[in-house]
Amino acid sequence: MAEQKTKEQAIKDYGAESIRVLEGLEAVRKRPAMYIGSTGKDGLHHLVYEVVDNAIDEAQAGYCNLINITINKDDSIVIEDNGRGIPVEKHATGKSAMEVALTKLHAGGKFDKKSYQISGGLHGVGVSVVNALSKKMIAQSKRNNKIFEQVYKNGGKPEGNVKEVRKTEGTGTIIQFWPDPEIFTITTKFDYDVLTARFRELAFLNPGVKITLKDERDDKKTDFFSTEGLMEFIKWLNRSKNALHKPVYFKKDFDHSTVEVAIQYNEGYNEGIFGFVNTINTVEGGTHISGLKTALTRVINDYAKKNKMMKNISVQGDDVREGLIAIISLKIPNPQFEGQTKTKLGNSEIKGFVDSIVTTALSEFFEQNPAIAKKIVQKCSSAAEAREAARKARELVRRKTAMSIGGLPGKLADCSSNKLDETELFIVEGESAAGSGKQARDKEFQAVLPLKGKILNVEKASPTKVFSSDEIVNLITAIGTGTGETFNIEKLRYGKTIIMTDADVDGQHIKTLLLTLFFRYVPQLIEAGRVFVAVAPLYRIKKGNESHYVYSDEELKKKIEKLGGKPDVQRFKGLGEMNPQQLWETTMNPKERSLKKIKIEDAVEADNIFSMLMGDEVGPRREFIESHAKMAELDI
């Protein structure tokens, strides 16, 4: 009876007063990830992009050609443009239009298409969300030879009305904000390199607009400016590779929209197709990418058959995209993105439009440039032949591995559980580390796959050679998903794939080789958040009966100072030097260990770095290493 009364009381208590309305920007602070994707490093930088995207909208409307961004020493950031400035006149609500735009969701000039035909900040929640997630924001608008200002604190609450602060010349908008550490608990510090990658893209996508990034913390400054747009962009992307021909470029208008495409093949084997919609990097692709891929395959096949350039073989999508770098930039009035962070385009009609435009433009280009067309067809034909050879190599390996239990690699020490969410595959190098790992693991949910030495550098190898490598095939077989167009996430055998290598130079090299393999052949695994790197300790500090593990030289110094005296310090040069109990406690026990999740934060930059570090061109690699040397962790 008591239980019945409890339920009745609960029903009675749940009345109209229980339905809470989140006013103004309160909803954003309650569920920030809904608006910016996360409250980690990605979400922090997304705040900057929301403000800069508004300046880019002004540029695309023809009113802005200069954007200055400054990172201050106090972790605030200032974004200034020379656009028209935010309107400050009285709005229908009775408040200044600037206050309405910066404190109300879905309030902005992006909806009626009179102020902006094309816009990246489509949802009208951009800067108001930035305001909501800042402990302080100062907005200034330069209009009518005056600067108008309003200050907001504690999540977007105005400190007073919009007021005139001084006279000025010109027009524009200045936004300064301090991210709220209560929201961004991991970090509130902006990463110069992350911002650099995005602003470089924006400069290429908006020729004639100068973007300047300045960092007051380290006294650094970089200017971004492009005159040739996508033509310069694709040359920059291919700068670490040997290009086969001059870039193919075309730009077409359709139905109040514009599509720009740049294509250039190189001598390598990896593809890179980068899509942008209203300058937003659609890292998850979408209908514009699908249309480009379909047209490219069709045009190359048709041209080859028409000119009798291929015998008894047709090129497939994978063949066409081998060694391809392509950029497609779309500017459309009503893009349908998936989520506020805009990572995938969903407009169904766009696939047909892009397919038709690319087919016509590329066919015309091939007819007018037969020498380039011939090089491209020969490249694709060679890829098709190599694909067939690789298929035969895979079949041969499958027949060999089928002899082991369940078709799995013989060296794999599998786990007993088949529950995806709890299982883990540790990839280790060498018999010593494998021995420790197999003894240390929990056999219920942890599997161990040893590799023999350093795997093949897939950045320099053809698919035929890649799939002839026993170590690589064993690894792909253990993971279970397949690669390329046959990739199927439903066949994934382990919830986590964890790279566990030594902390020395060789271990770092092996880790890089494995990450290159994952990025080039199973990038979907990274995108799904399934690839991790185990963080092994460098030292064990023992004082009395207590042992402490530390993971860097800096941490070692601090720990010794804290402990005092002269504790016993043991340096681990490799995983094999740890006994199984130590390896379990520090690196494999889910309750104690640290794992780094591998993410493709920026596909353009990731492709560039892998090509640079693992490719044939020495110059760009040397330049990268020299410029990042101070940031490296030294192995002493």
Give the catalytic positions in this structure: 429, 502, 504, 506
CA distance 633 to 505: 10
**Displacement of CA 10 from its chain's centroid (Å):** 46
Task: Count CB neighbours of 617 within 10 A.
Answer: 13
CA distance 52 to 202: 10
Residue 427: which of 522, 553, 548 has the closest Cα? Answer: 522
Alpha helices in 419-493 (DSSP H): 431-440, 463-466, 470-479
> What six digits make up the tokens of 567?
């504790």
Residue 275 in contact with residue 351, Cβ under 8 Å?
no
Residue 459 in contact with residue 610, Cβ under 8 Å?
yes
CA distance 78 to 137: 10
Q: Is the dihedral of CA 12, 17, 20, 21 positive or negative?
A: positive
3-state secondary structure of 421: coil
Residue 252: which of 359, 373, 349 has the closest Cα? Answer: 359
The angle subtended at Cα 124 by Cα 118 and Cα 127, nearest 5°, is 110
Strand partners of residue 425: 447, 497
Residue 317 in contact with residue 485, Cβ under 8 Å?
yes
Residue 540 in contact with residue 547, Cβ under 8 Å?
yes
